[in-house]
A and B are shown apart, each in its own frame.
Chain A
Amino acid sequence: MKSGISPAALLCGLVAAGPVAAQTEIEFWHAFTGRLGELVDAQVAEFNASQSDYIVTASHKGNYSETLNAGIAAFRAGEQPDILMVFEVGTATMMAAKGAIRPVHEVMAEAGADFDPDAFIGSVKGYYTTTDGQMLSLPFNSSTPVLWVNRDALSAAGIDPDTDLSTWQQVGAVLDQLKAAGSTCPLTTAWQSWIHLENLSAYHDVPFATQENGFAGLDTELAFNAPLQVQHIQAMGDWARDGKFIYAGRRNEGGANFRAGECALFTESSAGYAGIKSEAQFAFEVRPLPYWEGVEGAPQNTIIGGASLWVMAGQTAKEYKGVASFLNFLSSPEIQARWHQDTGYLPITSAAGDLTREQGFYDANPGTDIAVRQMTAKEPTANSKGLRLGSFDQIRTIIDEELEGVWTGDKTAEAALNSAVERGNQLLRRFEQANR
């Protein structure tokens, strides 16, 4: 690897060389800005420097929704890129658009690339493969929810910071103690639907939706109003009423409260690592996401959030060869291991995880492998493979609205979840109709 050369130097080299006529251009649209954007650019520059047949041009197209929209609008105008980054909730939309995409396994096979789908971590791969194991899009950035602990806040409340927080029962007891000790924010969360319903369901091996969470057909119906989910949301609602759970917003607004040291416990993506590490002025720790003790099969495995790379239809065979070569490069252990260590996203292949361990990263940064272990401890079941639901962005908004009703005390957990299921099912039926 050319690890001794900086990405900037590589870029300079490219500019000096100029675009050679023989090079095939591969367009890649992504949704990353800031540090993540720089890291993507560095990967692209490294790929461009590593060979002379193809040149990848990466463009930032806004946030996840905007990037998806840009891709869709471009496709309608016949100007689509070769590779489009799509967040996990857009998976069903992309899958259903059979004429607009090329499945990754097909692109790889046609290009004769050496591609082994089994190299990918099961629960990462599962989200983006068909029920018969064919990979549709290449997992790119994946994370999973964990429990972040402010050790200093626990000590201040007279709680042993090493106390066991594996189960929600134990967390409940700690929240009582924190509240009694005067904590203004014992627990907060980011991404409430993703963590407290989608992952809750997978982690306890209960369905979030019928038809294998939508993998087995468009006629899926939401099923997250079962006793387990109602019990969990009711417990959270009770904690909210008592000031033990502080709701900060629909996205990751709660992160600011946690990083400022105000909150003791925080359920958030494992990819929150970079931000927490750079800002937290207190001793923090990563713990596995808690589960409800006594539920059969729990803890199963958690599911991912993040994005994958989709190959768009309508390009030349030569471009597809270049795409295959670029995607293979991205999933190589060295690139993946570095990406995992720089960002806190999961390593998407087992080899990248092993390489990271060999490099001593987990020893130097304790807890960074919790997410990996949580995801790979068990072989995913039909309930924990992932979710494939149409209009899922809107369904999440509905869930957000209904959960807010529980946090304010306007609704019981049961009424809110029943209503969310009923409203969400209407959208699923529309999606089914649109993609018939």
Chain B
Amino acid sequence: MEKRVRFKGIWLPLLLVLPQIVITAVFFFYPAGQAIWQSLFIPDPFGLSKQFVGLGNFEFLLSDRYYRASFITTAVFSTLVTVVSMGVALWLAVLADRLIKGSGTYRTLLIWPYAVAPAVAGVLWLFMFNTRVGVVTWYLGLLGYDWNHVLNGEEAMGLVVIASAWGRISYNFLFFLAGLQAIPRSVIEAAAIDGAAFWTRFRTIVFPLLSPTTFFLLVVNIVYAFFETFGVIHTITSGGPQQATTILVYKVYADGFVGQDLGSSAAQSVILLVVVSILTIVQFRYIERRVHY
């Protein structure tokens, strides 16, 4: 059944993928190689000298129980960000898909937050939840809830998850909406004629047909939560209180750019790289099997 276009010879296909290979080599393989190389040394910040320590940086990190604890924090954070941003986006997309009038406006408005940089999003949310002048904190106070993410680790985690997921909702929404619109109406109508209610149709037809989109977003969102959220953490909590919101990528930044400990920072990025690679392999091997293309 498979239809494949086959190129004659090797040179044309090679030429066509060359730009991609060059970009990947320059912007991915070279820096990754540098990180692996640097992770074997303890350099001084100015690059005047460095000492080869082999796997010493990794030993130092993995023997630190605070570093090990930040794996759990990262897992909790990434799961929450992915579930919240995808769940809300799917819900909004289903609603937008049913709209007949004004869907253009609705869509445009929902896409806006994606244009806000993570650090700025962090500041916006921080203002709303500021323990003293925040609007949300004030309303919560009226309800008798004393919001204090400065000392309460769970509230701090909740806040950084919301701030990180918020901008992502737009992105996920776009893909879900496109996915929903690609589902043939006739299939849904046929099910409706057979007496399937909305929820049954969603569960048995729409969601399975949407699975390629969902799978793609799952991979992309986990990568986002792992790598691109340090701006939010930096502006809202700086990893605190205690270590409640110190995720792996924030520690890479803090140790490298604030602490000038480049060896440890490089080792941490290598560890992060390995973790994300394993996650992605697991996703492709086990979850992709359940995806219907």
* Docked-complex contact B259 and A434, CB < 8 angstroms: no
CB under 8 Å from chain B, chain A span 148-179: none
Determine how close the nearest CB of chain B comes to the CB of A373; give it in whole angstroms. Answer: 33
A33 contacts chain B at the CB level, 8 A cutoff: no
Pick the residue among A250, A400, A404, A434 that contacts B263 (CB under 8 A): A434
**Cβ proximity bits B250-271 to A, threshold 8 Å, 1 near / 0 not:** 0000110111110110000000
* Docked-complex contact A260 and B132, CB < 8 angstroms: yes
* Docked-complex contact A75 and B60, CB < 8 angstroms: no
A52 contacts chain B at the CB level, 8 A cutoff: no
* Docked-complex contact B264 and A430, CB < 8 angstroms: yes
B216 contacts chain A at the CB level, 8 A cutoff: no
CB under 8 Å from chain A, chain B span 231-288: 238-243, 254-255, 257-261, 263-264
Using CB atoms, name the residue of chain A closest to B43: A434
State A7–B66 Cα separation when bound (angstroms).
51
Determine how close the nearest CB of chain A comes to the CB of B176; give it in whole angstroms. Answer: 38
CB under 8 Å from chain A, chain B span 131-148: 131-133
* Docked-complex contact A423 and B66, CB < 8 angstroms: yes
* Docked-complex contact B132 and A257, CB < 8 angstroms: yes
Using CB atoms, name the residue of chain B closest to A398: B66
Using CB atoms, name the residue of chain A closest to B255: A394
* Docked-complex contact A72 and B46, CB < 8 angstroms: yes
Using CB atoms, name the residue of chain B closest to A185: B132
Residues of A within 8 A of B60 (CB): 426, 430
Taking A401-B240, A434-B43 as contacts, is the C-beta distance between A408 and B151 under 8 angstroms? yes
CB under 8 Å from chain A, chain B span 151-174: 151-152
Pick the residue among B51, B133, B240, B258 that contacts A433 (CB under 8 A): B51
B13 contacts chain A at the CB level, 8 A cutoff: no
* Docked-complex contact A394 and B261, CB < 8 angstroms: yes
* Docked-complex contact A256 and B257, CB < 8 angstroms: no
Taking A100-B48, A433-B42, A434-B263 as contacts, is the C-beta distance between A65 and B242 under 8 angstroms? no
B195 contacts chain A at the CB level, 8 A cutoff: no
B47 contacts chain A at the CB level, 8 A cutoff: yes
Pick the residue among B132, B260, B264 that contacts A256 (CB under 8 A): B132
Residues of B within 8 A of A68 (CB): 260
CB under 8 Å from chain B, chain A span 384-407: 391, 393-394, 397, 400-402, 404-405, 407
Residues of B within 8 A of A257 (CB): 132
Residues of A within 8 A of B131 (CB): 248
State A410–B47 Cα separation when bound (angstroms).
41
State A234–B112 Cα separation when bound (angstroms).
48
* Docked-complex contact A391 and B254, CB < 8 angstroms: no
B120 contacts chain A at the CB level, 8 A cutoff: no
Taking A257-B132, A430-B264 as contacts, is the C-beta distance between A397 and B239 under 8 angstroms? yes
Pick the residue among B42, B132, B255 that contacts A434 (CB under 8 A): B42
Using CB atoms, name the residue of chain A closest to B53: A433
A231 contacts chain B at the CB level, 8 A cutoff: no
Pick the residue among B51, B66, B240, B255 that contacts A400 (CB under 8 A): B240
Residues of A within 8 A of B264 (CB): 430
A359 contacts chain B at the CB level, 8 A cutoff: no
A332 contacts chain B at the CB level, 8 A cutoff: no
* Docked-complex contact A72 and B64, CB < 8 angstroms: no
State A408–B258 Cα separation when bound (angstroms).
26
State A430–B258 Cα separation when bound (angstroms).
15
The stretch of A91-99, A131-139, A341-349 in contact with B is: A91-99
A238 contacts chain B at the CB level, 8 A cutoff: no
* Docked-complex contact A249 and B257, CB < 8 angstroms: no
Residues of B within 8 A of A426 (CB): 60, 64
20 contacts between A and B (CB under 8 A): A97-B45, A97-B46, A98-B48, A99-B46, A256-B133, A260-B132, A391-B261, A394-B254, A401-B240, A401-B243, A408-B151, A408-B152, A408-B241, A423-B64, A427-B261, A430-B60, A433-B42, A434-B42, A434-B44, A434-B263
Kindly list the 8 A-B residue pairs having the minimum CB-CB distance in the complex, ordered from nearest.
A394-B259, A100-B46, A404-B241, A97-B46, A76-B47, A434-B42, A99-B48, A401-B242
Beyond the given A260-B132, A393-B258, please list 14 additional residue pairs across the A-B interface where CB-CB is below 8 A.
Answer: A69-B260, A75-B46, A96-B44, A98-B48, A99-B48, A391-B261, A394-B254, A402-B242, A404-B242, A408-B242, A426-B60, A433-B51, A434-B43, A434-B51
**B residues touching A (Cβ–Cβ < 8 Å)?**
42-48, 51, 53, 60, 64, 66, 131-133, 150-152, 238-243, 254-255, 257-261, 263-264
